Every structure is written in C-alpha cells, then in structure tokens.
Structure 1
Amino acid sequence: MASNDTNTTQFNDTNNFDKSHAPNSVIHYSITAAVAMGLCLIGIVGNIIVFWYLFFRIPRTKYTVYIINLAAADLLLLTFAAILMMVNINTLVGSNPDFEGIVVFYTFLQSIYDLSLYSGMYFLTAISMERCISVLFPLWYRSHRPKTLSVTMCICLWILGCSESLTVNLACPDNDFRNQTEVCTGVQIMRFTLSICICLPLMILSSVTLLIAIKKTFRNRYPSRLYIIIIAAVFIFILSVIPFNFLWFLMYFRLLPSIQDTLGLYFVSILTAALSSTANPYIYFIVGRLWKQKSSQSIRDVLHRAFKAQEDEKEEIKCEKENTSSSNNSNARNSTSSDSHRTDNSNYTNTENIL
C-alpha cells in the first residue's frame, strides 16, 4: 500500500507531458500500470479466499477480527488500484483520455483507494500493538481487555481512514495543491504525521518486541505463528510503503521538479501498494503450513492454524508432546514385554535341555 496525496494532480499533469518527446517514458508507465493490474488480480483472489474463510468458516477470535478488516481493506485497495491503472493507461495511450466526468470519477476512485490505504495501515498498527501489549503486560491484558475491543477498534479505524481520505481529497483539490495553500499544507502535514510520526514508530516498536519474544521462546518451542504473520506483514508494509510517504512529502514542496519523476513516483507507489496488499494473504497461507509434515491440508485448516491463539498453540504442542511421550512409553513397554517373553522362553528351553 502506498500513499497518493496529490489526488488527481500528478496524473492530470500528464496533459502537459509531451508524449512525442518521451515515448519511452509512456511505454514504461504503461508497462508498470499493466504489471500493477496483474498483481492486483492475484491479490484480489487471495484476499477473497481469506475473507471468505475467516468470515464464514472459521471461529472468530480477537485477532481474526482485525485480519478480516485488513483483508477487506486490501481487497478494496487492489480493486480500485486496478481501475485507477486502467484509467491511467487510457490517459496515456487511449483514444479518449479526457472523457466527460473524468475529474469527478478519478476523485471518487482516489478517495476509496486512500480510504482502504489508510484503514489498512491502521489495522496493521492496531493488531501489532495489541499483540505487543499482550506480551509486555500479560496479566493486565487478560484481566482488563474488553471483549468487544477488536470490533470497536475496527469501526473507529474505518471512520478515521474515511475522514482522512475525504480530508486529503476534498480539502486539498488540484489548484490548492499546485498553489500550496495553507489548508493544503496543513492537510499534508497531518497525513505525514499520522503515517510517519505515529504509525511507523508504533509498528517498529511492536515488531521488535515480538522478535524479542520469539528469540526467548525459540529454544523451547516453535514461535507463535501469529507473531510471524504480524512481523512479516509489517515488514513488507514498511519496506514497500513508508519510503514513498517521504517522497510524496518532498514532492509536495517541489523537491521533485521533473514531471517525469512525479509520474514515475506515482506509478511505482501504486505498484508497491499492490505488492504489499497482495503479499498478505499468501503470508497467511505460508505461515499456516509451517511445522506440519502433512502434504494434504485444506485452506480452512491452514488459516485456522495460522491465526490460532497462542494459548491454543501451547495446548496443541503439549498434546503433541504427550502423544509422543505416550507413544515412546508404549514402545518401551512393548520392548520390555518382548524381552521378558524372550527371556522366559530361553529359560524354559534351558530347563528342557537340562532335563
């Protein structure tokens, strides 16, 4: 996921981009858009599967509530990113780039795209922070956590993401963005503060805490799959999205003067957004299959195992150890009984020979 703070500004500026002087750039942008669309289709399939199984087929937990909403946000982002790319390709090489209502249509697409982008970032921050608190303060967390916290948090985060998206896209239109008005500057600083100064440090802090927890428990047992999922999702998000937040902020203050640089940043940001949202469901599938030697596993079993609570994982490991121990004891008893039987037969044979 990546942030496109310029609304329709950057891409509408392609009207000033002379294609005849830079045909290679147009081809590169079109190829990038096509790759992003293909990536979006792959991610849409994965997120639909995750959403379906977690919502309808798997018992809901406090953590799967966040993942369901994250999958919904990723699904929205990928769908509208693919539509945005189609509109952008039409603007670059289409026969009717300036169709009637394009500005309103593009603003609508960008608003939903930003809504899913910001909400997904907040869901990742919330689930990583909640898991971090459960590790640092386990007793307090178990006794004071409200049962409806996950649902309440998700509703509030959707509202926050919607408010931020509408503010960015409506309070900072094209002319205000170009002229760097006070309102538009305040909006950009607000967005930058939320993503870089608040969400990024919280995600890094929680990920480091979970890594330390994994290191402490790794010698005794396998780490919680949920820890690995959170760390992997946050890591991919930080690598693919956060750098472009800095670049967009620099671009707003005209530190990227070339229109080619701005357009390249725009296309690459959407491509990395699609990559981050596409990776999440496949992270769940891969982690859910870890430490199991069975070749045939249903999607439901894989997802259920991926988001199993840590307490359930401990119980599962305990049962496996007990089964292994009982199996070893049974084998030992069978071996002892067999040895005893052979000894009795040997003694009986020796007695017969003596007689």
Structure 2
Amino acid sequence: MDMTVTAWETELTPTNGSDRAFYQLYTEKIILEVLSAIVALVGLAGNAVVLWLLGFRMRRNAFSVYILNLAGADFLFLCSQSIYILYEIFYLHFVLKKVYRFLMPVSIFAYISGLSFLSAISTERCVSVLWPIWYRCRRPSHMSAVTCALLWSLSLLMTILDKNNCFHLFDSLNHPMCQVFDFIRLPWFILLFVLLSGSSLALMTRLLCGPHRIPLTRLYVTIMLSMLVFLPLGITWFLSFWFSDDFNTNHLSMTILLLSCVNSCANPIIYFLVGSFRQRWRKRKHTLRLVLQRALQDTPVVDEPGESLPGETLYMSESSPGQ
C-alpha cells in the first residue's frame, strides 16, 4: 500500500512541466466557469426585474413590447447557460444527463430570438426616424406584438434546422438535408446582422452628423448602447457555433460562454444606468419602475440633475403608435 501511494505521488510530481501546465489550464477553466456563473446569476436577476416591471407594472407600447420579449430571450438563454455551468463545475452527469442534451437547442433558440428582437428594435427605430410621418400615421396597430410572435416562430424554425439537430435526425452531418438546412439558416443570419448593423449606423449618423440631426433621447441611448454591446459579442458567439470545430481549444469555448453571458446580462444594466443618469436618488419615488421608464422615454434628456418628468411622460411619447 505504501509503495502504491509513493508511486502515485511520484507520478503527480511535475517532472517536465506538463503537470504544472495541466493544473494551470484547469485553474483557468475553473475561474472562467465561476465568472460565467456570477455573470449569469446577475443577468438572471436583472432580466427577471425587467420582465416583472414591463409585464405587470408598466403600460406597454411599441418599443417596450420588443424590450419585454428581448428580456425573455435573454432570461431563457441565461437559464440554459446556468444549467450548463453547474453541469461543468459540479460534474452533475447523473442528474443532468437527460437535461444536458436539450441545453444546446434552447441556447441557440434564445440567442436567435434575442438577435431577432434587437434587429427589429433597431430597424423599427430607424424607420421611425427616416420616415416619421409614415411611421406615425400608417404603422399598423399591434405591429410589435405580431412581429415578436413571428420572430419567436422563425427562431424556433431556425433552431430545428441547426446542424446538431440534423445529426440527430439523419445520424450524419453530411446528409444532403443538412446542407439544405445550412443553406436556409445562413441567409437569415446574414439578414439579421445586416439589418442590425445597417440600422444602427443610420441611427448614429442621424444623431451625430448632418444639419438635420435629431435630438438625443434616452431611448436612443438605450438602443445604441445595446447595439454596441451586442455586435462584437454576438458575432463571436455566432462564429463559435458556425465553426464549432475551431473553437474547442485553449478554453475558447468557456471564454465565449462568458462573453455570451455578459452579452445577455448587459441589457438590464444599460436600462438602469441610462434611466438613472443625471437623477437624484435621494427621493424615494425614484423606484426601479421609474428608472426603467426614463430609460425608454422618447423625449429629450433633461439637463437639470433634479428635474424629472411627471407620470406617463417619463415613458415613451404618447404620440407613438400602439403595440
């Protein structure tokens, strides 16, 4: 028994630095997992607050419907990622063995949905700026709710067409139907990224350049910050799944997992930072609901630190169309 223990200890002793490198990589992996878990929990709490406020405590209109659905997509994504992180940290293979196989489709579904809602928010805001008369007079009623329902359905369809699901259906990634699925999904992703980046660039141009610049509102700031945070992280997340074989080395998968959690966690933080900017927190009436209302208000930013807009005017302009 003593000879066995001695041999085992000798085997664990780093002779050529390989064991030390292994422990270093293992430590880095644990650090990334713990950071991802912390960010995911913060994001879950933030998106849960947004869902509660927009779903039950505030009156919804055009853009708040998109924000509500975006918070739902981020919450679903962070839930799936939290389960995956617990799976990795505590090695719960027996408990989560059956759940684990559903985490990837749920994550992809939530990611595609979030990307779709962000593209819809940016595109609709760009249309409202470039063609304001048509937008105010001709925009269909309840367009936001119908658009969100359609985007949820399309996101589910694109998730079903994912290559991992294709493998489960046909037991091969080289099946002709898998190539057809990729041919359908790729144009949709390209269209979403083009709409997101193009409309964001158009909004920034109208805000910062030209003689007919539009006044800056908190809603513009909220949308632009969400776009700027999402684009680099979202593209990286997309590439990691499109070229999954090239992203499975050197902890890149865990790094991308952390970045994806940061991406979904950032939106609630942006809402509350923009809503509380230049506001005094001494008064008790500055609740989270009013802060979120300020972040979505479509009126020029008030310069006075203590000045606030009454009641519903904190929300988006009453002249905007309905859902």
Same fold (TM over 0.5): yes
User: Where does residue 71 of structure 1 map in the other structure?
Assistant: 71
- Residue 173 in structure 1 maps to residue 162 in structure 2: no
CA contact (8 A) 2:206 2:213 kept: no
User: Where does residue 290 of structure 1 map in the other structure?
Assistant: 277
1:124, distance to aligned residue in structure 2 (A):
0.4
Aligned CA-pair RMSD:
3.1
User: Where does residue 303 of structure 1 map in the other structure?
Assistant: 292
- CA separation of 1:121 and 1:315: change in aligned 2, threshold 3 A: closer
1:291, distance to aligned residue in structure 2 (A):
3.9
User: Where does residue 128 of structure 2 map in the other structure?
Assistant: 134
Looking at structure 1, the residues matched to 20 and 187 of structure 2 have their Cα atoms a distance apart, in angstroms, of: 40
Partner AA of 2:102 in structure 1: F
Looking at structure 1, the residues matched to 211 and 37 of structure 2 have their Cα atoms a distance apart, in angstroms, of: 40
Deviation per residue, 1:177-218 (Å, 9 max, x gap): 6x54433344345434322x2111111111112112222599
Q: Which of 214, 237, 240 is the matching residue for 2:233?
A: 240
Looking at structure 2, the residues matched to 259 and 161 of structure 1 have their Cα atoms a distance apart, in angstroms, of: 25
Q: Which of 257, 266, 275 is the matching residue for 1:279?
A: 266
Partner AA of 1:106 in structure 2: Y
Partner AA of 1:227 in structure 2: Y
Deviation per residue, 1:36-81 (Å, 9 max, x gap): 1111100111111111111111111110000011111111111110
**TM-score for both structures, normalised by structure 1:** 0.71
1:119, distance to aligned residue in structure 2 (A):
0.6
- Residue 212 in structure 1 maps to residue 202 in structure 2: no
Aligned residues: 284
User: Where does residue 249 of structure 1 map in the other structure?
Assistant: 242
SS at match of 1:241: helix
User: Where does residue 107 of structure 1 map in the other structure?
Assistant: 101
- CA separation of 1:140 and 1:28: change in aligned 2, threshold 3 A: same
CA contact (8 A) 1:226 1:307 kept: yes
User: Where does residue 38 of structure 2 map in the other structure?
Assistant: 38
1:82, distance to aligned residue in structure 2 (A):
0.5
- Residue 152 in structure 1 maps to residue 184 in structure 2: no
Looking at structure 2, the residues matched to 219 and 287 of structure 1 have their Cα atoms a distance apart, in angstroms, of: 24
Looking at structure 1, the residues matched to 153 and 294 of structure 2 have their Cα atoms a distance apart, in angstroms, of: 31
User: Where does residue 120 of structure 1 map in the other structure?
Assistant: 114
Deviation per residue, 1:275-324 (Å, 9 max, x gap): 0110100100111123445644211111111112x3xx25989xx8xxxx
- CA separation of 1:36 and 1:190: change in aligned 2, threshold 3 A: farther
Q: Which runs of 5+ in 2 are unaligned?
A: 1-18, 308-323
Looking at structure 2, the residues matched to 230 and 39 of structure 1 have their Cα atoms a distance apart, in angstroms, of: 22
Q: Which runs of 5+ in 1 are unaligned?
A: 1-18, 321-355
- CA separation of 1:251 and 1:189: change in aligned 2, threshold 3 A: farther
- CA separation of 1:293 and 1:100: change in aligned 2, threshold 3 A: closer
Moved over 4 A (4+): 174-177, 216-222, 314-317
CA contact (8 A) 1:192 1:249 kept: no
SS at match of 2:167: coil
Deviation per residue, 1:200-240 (Å, 9 max, x gap): 11111111121122225999985111111111111111111
Looking at structure 2, the residues matched to 21 and 314 of structure 1 have their Cα atoms a distance apart, in angstroms, of: 55
Q: Which has the larger radius of gyration?
A: 1
CA contact (8 A) 2:87 2:96 kept: no
**TM-score for both structures, normalised by structure 2:** 0.78
Looking at structure 2, the residues matched to 105 and 217 of structure 1 have their Cα atoms a distance apart, in angstroms, of: 53
Looking at structure 2, the residues matched to 29 and 185 of structure 1 have their Cα atoms a distance apart, in angstroms, of: 34
Identity of matched residues, %? 29
Looking at structure 2, the residues matched to 101 and 38 of structure 1 have their Cα atoms a distance apart, in angstroms, of: 20
CA contact (8 A) 1:44 1:75 kept: yes
Looking at structure 2, the residues matched to 217 and 150 of structure 1 have their Cα atoms a distance apart, in angstroms, of: 30
CA contact (8 A) 1:241 1:269 kept: no
- CA separation of 1:165 and 1:20: change in aligned 2, threshold 3 A: farther
> Which moved further from structure 2: 38-47 or 243-252?
243-252
The 5 Å alignment of 1:216-231 reads: 223-231=216-224
Looking at structure 2, the residues matched to 138 and 60 of structure 1 have their Cα atoms a distance apart, in angstroms, of: 21
User: Where does residue 260 of structure 1 map in the other structure?
Assistant: 249
CA contact (8 A) 1:124 1:234 kept: yes
SS at match of 2:141: coil
- Residue 191 in structure 1 maps to residue 188 in structure 2: no
Partner AA of 1:48 in structure 2: A
SS at match of 1:207: helix
User: Where does residue 350 of structure 1 map in the other structure?
Assistant: none
CA contact (8 A) 2:206 2:212 kept: no
CA contact (8 A) 1:172 1:187 kept: no
- CA separation of 1:100 and 1:229: change in aligned 2, threshold 3 A: closer
Deviation per residue, 1:9-57 (Å, 9 max, x gap): xxxxxxxxxx999443333223212211111100111111111111111
- CA separation of 1:21 and 1:209: change in aligned 2, threshold 3 A: closer
1:101, distance to aligned residue in structure 2 (A):
7.4
Partner AA of 1:171 in structure 2: C
- Residue 27 in structure 1 maps to residue 27 in structure 2: yes
Looking at structure 2, the residues matched to 192 and 28 of structure 1 have their Cα atoms a distance apart, in angstroms, of: 34
